Amino acid sequence: MRLSSGGLIDRTQPIGFQFDGHDYAGFQGDTLASALLANGVRTVARSFKYHRPRGIFSAGSEEPNALVTLGTGAQTEPNVRATTQELFAGLQARAQNCWPSVDWDVMQVNDLLADFLGAGFYYKTFMWPKKAWEAVYEPLIRRAAGIGKLSGADDPDLNEKAFAHCDLLVIGAGPTGLMAALVAAEAGADVILCDEDATLGGRLNAEVEEIGGQSARDWAAATLARLSDMANVRIMTRTTVTGVYDQGTFGALERVCRHLPPGRGKRPVDCFWRIVAKQAVLAAGAIERPVAFRNNDRPGVMLAGAVRSYVNRYAVSPGRAVTVFGNNDNAHRTARDLLAAGVHVAALVDAREGAKTDLAVPFYPGAVVERVFGANGVEAVSIRTAKGRERLHSDCVAVSGGWNPSVHLTCHLNGRPVWDAGLAAFLPAPGAVPNLIPAGAAAGVFSTAGCLASGAEAAGKALLALGLNAANTTIPQAEDGTYDITPLWQVPGRGRAWLDLHNDVTVKDVRGAAVENFRSVEHMKRYTTQGMAPDQGKTSNMGALAVLADVTGREVPQTGTTTYRPPFVPVPIAALGAGGRGMGFAPRRLTTSHDVSLSMNAPMIEAGLWYRSSYFPRQGEATWRQSCDREVAMVRNAVGICDVSTLGKIDIQGADAARFLDFVYTNTFSTLKPGRVRYGLMLREDGFVMDDGTTARLGPQHYVMTTTTAAAGLVMMHLEFVAQVLKPDWDVRLISVTEQWAQVAVAGPKSRALLQDLLGQDLSNDVFPVMACGPVTLAGVEGRLFRISFSGELAYEIAMPARYGESLFRLLVARAEALGGGAYGLEALNILRLEKGLLTHAELDGRTTAQDLGLERMMAPGKDFIGKAAASRPGLVAEDRARLIALKPVGPVKQITAGAFLFEQDAEPVRTNAQGHVTSAGFSPTLGHTIGLAFLQNGADRVGERVHMVDHLRQITTLCEVCEPVFFDPEGGRTRG
């Protein structure tokens, strides 16, 4: 029911919206909750388990009941709290967890079965048969329970993440936060002021009181205006600080345009902030807690402070005859404000003996609300006094069990809150988070005057730590009332009394947990699901804990609290992962020949983040195999061109560069002459092979190392480790030059002719033998030439500065085509190296030793190198280790597949009999059959033997012959040609 005047709403701006298919209207400044209340909508949701009707309970982010689904289609957003969702034109909301409608829900039958559905019901009932859990029970339960549902469609909305830094972060912009921000800002500190509300001021907007002679809300607005005029202050509205992390890092969720209609343009819906603050003031206020009594979950039962928010801020009365029920002074304000707004107060019930009031209302000191009546909402209340029971007509109960300081953020780094018996509440533990100063209601200071002073004091402490001098900011006069409370958690009696409204946990459930010996608060929580809903028990944990303490005969502090963990409010995964979709998740690394290769119709294959050409199809080739076979033949018979720039290149210089390489490689590089290249093998410190590659010596103190594409980053980091940590005194400098050089392989019998012609330079064996390297000039550009081969052919690799990479590739391909060759891709490269038994990371899989690979002679004696000691361990040199061999099919089945296992011919193909596995395989057009590389126990001694290759996944069994791992040109005459 909308009141005729007052509130922070703009009555000149009506806003139309829909809830559950019905059209309603609210005003600018409304939340969805206040607009629904204004329209008399009481039932807005169905409860999680019993499907009981539920109404709006709070006026903030602590809301346990009023979770609705917003929007349609792909932009459907479930579990939106109606109490924080600002109203906008055309807003469409739907109730959750109900069918066919929120007013008549089929599943409310659950409520009749409540006696059987208590906590732990699922665990006890759906035990047998065991198989039925996954197949029947769980899907059934999941369908019946649960809350909002995702659309299942791709999220079309944008999200963002951002960083901010400041001297002082003020969390919460109520009286405490505003005062703290003002004091710090006037002293010149860089201040960020965050608040989750759209209109800042905290409770000042919800209460009727004065600060410094003006209304509290006007003071808040004026203070904000002052702050926003200051260049050193950043005010972040609609921003909830969600978590505290180490070294002054805070997570914060900004709802950037959730208050605007869809089609918001290119703005993100949410932005997740990481705010780094030297100091912080926690001015997050307090959250009111209810008292449990029979049927206290009915629509119409609300927090007393929330009723004031609706009356004072939104000019909405949640009822026509309101019963106010509390155990503290603060509740009386609700009766006062309702009266002032002209709303009938049916009763003011104060559980404290000897409570007093001056208000002209029916007053019941020393009494309690025992139960409410009404199936779909409060219709009447039963008040129990010392004299007996009285039933009153009432459609709303405003309940206050006291206030819990919002200590959540002080607990995120393991801090445990401290019980204050006077306030009957937990307070932040002193120094729980370094440089985070709790103040105001969050620190248990509940009067407005106290909050202002506390905020100023906290800012003063922060300024001191920052080395800034506080200016002379005056603290205005304000309300300085008392907060007297007598703890009351639940009203004893028959029937069900709710603690956790969201998860349908009752007093009886918590008692039941204790009876079943789940006496630890953490056990009770998990047994009953108390506090595990999206609201994380903000309004209910304290009550449940007190009930548990009572049942187990302990005091609250002995019972302890459950752990407060981030986030303080739910954070969409989309906001946390902003920027992490598609290429944001895996950026693409492209070679300089990428565009040319695409223009040649080459399909790309991913190698880490790199994109490499798979093959270059020509007219008439229908399958990749046809192209691959042709490219292999081209390299074997003419000349092929392949971009190999993706291999890691590390430039190594310094007086100790040679010594350094001797230490990181198993073999020796100090003896390598300038102008020569050597193949190197690198181990990890545990003795297994890390990587291999060629390293060229360009000068006495200058090497360039190549790594495999996959291990480039790993090797670079490893070398930095060795240089900085193990050998800090050596003069060696490293830099990755992978991106700086475009490197192209020119391979095949006609490669020399091609390059001699292109470079105008003699490349005969006498001048430029195998494993030579040296500078070359092409079209006036200085580059490097290496005579190295990954194909077993006469081959070179030519490197040019990356900006010439594309033209280099074009030029080489054109020259090669004129000689009957052309470009080849990764598929052909793989077959060429398989035919030669050359290694990739399929073989260097982190579990292989030099000996496994037949490279034990590369372990140079007489020098220390990384992995040397560990490589000598018995297990690493055992004779029966699986060693590298090659396979060829000799039976009717001709397939060899990577990943398949090897067995002796007469052995049953089961795991315990496996003797090795295939690492890579492919069809060799040169040999005319499939070939594979594999590791086989004692492999080196078993050449000529026959084994079964069994691929259990593809159901292939192939009889293979064990071969030496070099099929093609084992003497290497072609390479040296």
Task: Please report how close the Cβ of residue 192 comes to another protein at its closest, in angstroms.
Answer: 17
Query: Strand 425-427 to strand 436-438: parallel, antiparallel, or no bridges (unpaired)?
Result: unpaired
Minimum CB distance to another protein smaller for 148 or for 251: 251
Task: Please report how close the Cβ of residue 274 comes to another protein at its closest, in angstroms.
Answer: 7
As a whole number of angstroms, the distance between CA 773 and CA 678 comes to 10
As a whole number of angstroms, the distance between CA 350 and CA 358 comes to 13
Minimum CB distance to another protein smaller for 685 or for 969: 685
Query: Strand 916-924 to strand 901-904: parallel, antiparallel, or no bridges (unpaired)?
Result: antiparallel
Task: Please compute Rg for the chain using Cα positions.
Answer: 38
Minimum CB distance to another protein smaller for 389 or for 733: 733
Task: Please report how close the Cβ of residue 867 comes to another protein at its closest, in angstroms.
Answer: 10
Minimum CB distance to another protein smaller for 137 or for 730: 730
CA nearest to 8, candidates 258, 172, 197, 288: 197
Dihedral in degrees, nearest 10, Cα atoms 636, 642, 648, 653: 80
Which residues in 155-175 are b (16+ Cβ under 10 Å) and which e? bebbbbbeebebbbbbbbbbb
Task: Please report how close the Cβ of residue 8 comes to another protein at its closest, in angstroms.
Answer: 39
Cis peptide before 567 (omega within 30 of 0): yes
Task: Please report how close the Cβ of residue 432 comes to another protein at its closest, in angstroms.
Answer: 11
115 Cβ contact list (under 8 Å, min separation 6) = none
DSSP conformational letter for 444: T
Minimum CB distance to another protein smaller for 415 or for 680: 415
Minimum CB distance to another protein smaller for 434 or for 775: 434
Minimum CB distance to another protein smaller for 252 or for 351: 252
Task: Please report how close the Cβ of residue 713 comes to another protein at its closest, in angstroms.
Answer: 8
Task: Please report how close the Cβ of residue 576 comes to another protein at its closest, in angstroms.
Answer: 13
CA nearest to 254, candidates 232, 233, 275, 269: 269
Minimum CB distance to another protein smaller for 236 or for 722: 722
Minimum CB distance to another protein smaller for 679 or for 721: 721
Task: Please report how close the Cβ of residue 683 comes to another protein at its closest, in angstroms.
Answer: 12
Task: Please report how close the Cβ of residue 665 comes to another protein at its closest, in angstroms.
Answer: 17
How many other CB atoms are found less than 10 A from the CB of residue 214? 13
How many other CB atoms are found less than 10 A from the CB of residue 187? 22
In a 13 Å sphere around the CA of 99, the CA atoms on its Cβ side amount to 7
Minimum CB distance to another protein smaller for 231 or for 725: 725
Minimum CB distance to another protein smaller for 600 or for 870: 870
Task: Please report how close the Cβ of residue 870 comes to another protein at its closest, in angstroms.
Answer: 6
Annotate 890-936 with DSSP letters as a single string: -SS-----TT-EEEETTS--SGGG--EEEEEEEEETTTTEEEEEEEE
Task: Please report how close the Cβ of residue 190 comes to another protein at its closest, in angstroms.
Answer: 15
As a whole number of angstroms, the distance between CA 724 and CA 717 comes to 10
Determine the length of the chain.
977
3-state class of 604 per DSSP?
Answer: strand
Backbone phi, psi, residue 813, to 5°: -65, -45
Task: Please report how close the Cβ of residue 165 comes to another protein at its closest, in angstroms.
Answer: 9
**Reduced to 3 DSSP states, what percent helix, strand and coil does the chain have, rounded to the nearest 5?**
25, 30, 45
Minimum CB distance to another protein smaller for 181 or for 436: 436
As a whole number of angstroms, the distance between CA 760 and CA 771 comes to 20
Minimum CB distance to another protein smaller for 123 or for 163: 163
Task: Please report how close the Cβ of residue 720 comes to another protein at its closest, in angstroms.
Answer: 6
Beta-bridge partner residues of 17: 24, 91
The helix/strand count (H/E) of the chain reads as: 25, 50
Task: Please report how close the Cβ of residue 711 comes to another protein at its closest, in angstroms.
Answer: 15
As a whole number of angstroms, the distance between CA 319 and CA 3 comes to 11
Minimum CB distance to another protein smaller for 717 or for 890: 717
3-state class of 294 per DSSP?
Answer: strand
Task: Please report how close the Cβ of residue 735 comes to another protein at its closest, in angstroms.
Answer: 9
Minimum CB distance to another protein smaller for 460 or for 867: 867
Residues that bind another protein (CB under 8 A): 163, 245-249, 274, 276, 413-414, 434, 685-686, 717, 720-721, 724-726, 728, 864, 869-870, 872-873
As a whole number of angstroms, the distance between CA 6 and CA 348 comes to 24
Structure-token match 């020569």, residue found: 676
Minimum CB distance to another protein smaller for 196 or for 656: 656
Task: Please report how close the Cβ of residue 294 comes to another protein at its closest, in angstroms.
Answer: 46
Cis peptide before 100 (omega within 30 of 0): yes
* DSSP H or E stretch at residue 491: none
DSSP conformational letter for 440: G
* DSSP H or E stretch at residue 556: helix 556-559
Minimum CB distance to another protein smaller for 152 or for 875: 875
Task: Please report how close the Cβ of residue 414 comes to another protein at its closest, in angstroms.
Answer: 8
3-state class of 11 per DSSP?
Answer: strand
As a whole number of angstroms, the distance between CA 31 and CA 11 comes to 14
* Both structure tokens of 828: 């052909």
Structure-token match 């969390």, residue found: 171
Give the orientation angle of helix 507-515 with respect to helix 541-551, to 10 degrees.
Answer: 40
Minimum CB distance to another protein smaller for 72 or for 872: 872
Asked if residues 284 and 171 have their Cβ atoms less than 8 Å apart, the reply is yes
Beta-bridge partner residues of 922: 931
Task: Please report how close the Cβ of residue 871 comes to another protein at its closest, in angstroms.
Answer: 9
623: left (phi > 0), else alpha (psi -120 to 50), else beta?
beta
